[in-house]
Structure 1
Amino acid sequence: MRSIWRTLDRGTHSGIAAVCFAVALIGVSYGATAVTSGFPLWLPIVLGVLILAGGSEFLFIGIIAAGGSPIAAALAGLLVNARHVPYGLSIPDVVGTGWRRPIGVHVMNDESVALALAQPDVARRQAAYWISGLGVLLAWPGGAAIGALIGTVVPDTSVLGLDAVFPAVLLALVVPALRARATTLRAALFGAVAAVASAPFLPAGMPVLVALTGVVFAARERGEDAAPMRGDADATPKRGGDGAAERCGDAAAERCDG
């Protein structure tokens, strides 16, 4: 673990610490919300350890608190967590193999993926992913436990503005990646606009899935950019096959004329 920690620079260490702190603060809000909604103290802690996905957990608690069925709440949570599919496709080299893979998949979340993608090479991506993922695994249920304990004292933690910390930290993490490619920036803007436009009409967590349309936009744009390149490649004269036969035919004709 020490060698993995030394792989990263001080700035990345500070970023991971900030992420874990922000996650813990949101966990406090989550735990307090669950307890004040009538759920037992242990529920947000257990969900935090076993699910480790804040958006789906908030949605689960909210649907049941509003009178929905546990099955509907679970299905909604699974739908929100569908964003982990493109996450896994974007970082297949850092999740691990063998017995480490189930743990690596479990600690996959918005923060660990964002930190991993911000690193320049595989070794740093692996270090950032695992340190932040395990850090969130401790910070999220830990914050939920604290929130559950103080939920009766501060029943509405949203008045403290804790919810703004988490998106602010994520924005700081993704900004460097947006500078790398114009396609990435356009895809992010497309997904952000789609998410904001759908937010008034969809339940919490669902606009995140709508934002994934930015990935489709980026894939289509790259496909259009690659099409002219394929056309140029098809227009390149071939050196073998018929071209060689034509040259041989020309040479034979010259010998016959001679």
Structure 2
Amino acid sequence: MDDGGGDGPGTRVTGEPGRDTSSATSRVAKRDADVVRDALGVGIAVGLSGFAFGVTSAGAGLTLLQTCALSLLVFTGASQFALVGALAAGGNPYTAAAGAFFLGVRNAFYGLRLSQLLALPRAVRPFAAHWVIDETTAVTLPQPTRRAARIGFTVTGLTLYVLWNLTTLVGALGAEALGDTDAWGLDAASPAVFLALLAPMLKSTTERVTAALAVLLALGLLPVLPAGLPVLLSALAAPVVLFVTGRRKIATTVVTQGEERRR
């Protein structure tokens, strides 16, 4: 009887699974490390932009408490910049809040997808929902496994939330030391960071055309409408582009079917 101590089948059978398990563990560890690296990169890069928000918010007349509360409780950069940008331009607070709200609605649609992918316990979901933003979605969705998706979401969300709020505080405090923020040209920080956050999301031709039309609408309406309203009305770009795209697809389909029938 073979006791498994030699080079017989027993040794090879017990040895191969061990090597396979070790290899699989190494692959998982490497994949986790890659996800953490990517998540930290996104969290740190975007989190530092909180400084610009803090300065812009203080320059718009918000107090230190109000500025920090926005980052702590709203925590969606585009909406925050839209709000303080409209207020800085002298817009109505309710109109500014409405524009910020509509920009933030997209996060609800992100949440529908992420809730299925992450499958978090019910008790955790209300807290995780606060971190459903562009950056966490961008890192989470490409992950091949649920484990990797959860790591990407958690690391990105935690890093970004902590850094964004810390740099918001520093920016708001720094604005007081800088004095008149308009003299430093920091009024350009809001649109610059907003565009930086938006640009990576425009991947298809339809998205780029929609964004370009929205910009043209906003710029065209800016001189004739109160601050805040041009941003709201620029949202009309989406249904216009979708309508035109839909008509073009229908026309292409009709032409294609006609050619097939003639053949």
Alignment size in residue pairs:
206
Distance verdict in 2 for CA 1:145–1:210, change over 3 Å: farther
Give CA deviations for 1:165-212 in whole Å, capped at 9, x if unaligned. 78668867x79xxxxxxxxx6xx3311221122113236976996787
Q: Is the 8 A contact 1:53 1:109 kept in 2?
A: yes
1:200 equivalent among 194, 211, 216: 216
Per-residue deviation, 1:79: 0.8
User: Is 1:150 aligned with 2:166?
Assistant: no
Q: Corresponding residue for 2:100? A: 77
Per-residue deviation, 1:26: 1.4
Q: Corresponding residue for 2:88? A: 65
TM-score under structure 2 length normalisation: 0.63
* Long gaps (5+) in structure 2: 1-27, 219-227, 251-263
Distance verdict in 2 for CA 1:150–1:159, change over 3 Å: same
Query: How far apart, in 1, do the equivalents of 2:192 and 2:90 lie?
Result: 27
User: Is 1:24 aligned with 2:47?
Assistant: yes
Q: Is the 8 A contact 1:55 1:80 kept in 2?
A: yes
Residue identity matched to 1:106: H
Residue identity matched to 1:143: T
Matches within 5 A, 1:106-125: 106-125=130-149
Distance verdict in 2 for CA 1:160–1:61, change over 3 Å: closer
TM-score under structure 1 length normalisation: 0.65
Q: Over the residues paired in the alignment, what is the CA RMSD in angstroms?
A: 3.8
Query: How far apart, in 2, do the equivalents of 1:128 and 1:99 lie?
Result: 20
Residue identity matched to 2:205: L
Residue identity matched to 2:168: A
Q: Corresponding residue for 2:6? A: none
Give CA deviations for 1:65-95 in whole Å, capped at 9, x if unaligned. 3333332222221111111132122222226
Matches within 5 A, 1:175-186: none
* Long gaps (5+) in structure 1: 176-184, 225-258
Distance verdict in 2 for CA 1:151–1:73, change over 3 Å: same
Query: How far apart, in 1, do the equivalents of 2:171 and 2:140 lie?
Result: 29
Query: How far apart, in 2, do the equivalents of 1:6 and 1:105 lie?
Result: 27
Q: Corresponding residue for 1:239? A: none
Q: Corresponding residue for 2:3? A: none
Matches within 5 A, 1:1-258: 8-93=31-116, 94=118, 96-154=120-178, 155=181, 156=184, 158=186, 188-202=204-218
Residue identity matched to 2:78: G
Distance verdict in 2 for CA 1:74–1:168, change over 3 Å: closer
Residue identity matched to 2:147: A
Q: Is the 8 A contact 2:57 2:67 kept in 1?
A: yes
Give CA deviations for 1:198-232 in whole Å, capped at 9, x if unaligned. 1132369769967877xx79xx8xxx9xxxxxxxx
Segment drifting more, 100-109 vs 199-208: 199-208
Distance verdict in 2 for CA 1:56–1:166, change over 3 Å: closer
Distance verdict in 2 for CA 1:209–1:143, change over 3 Å: farther
Residue identity matched to 1:115: V
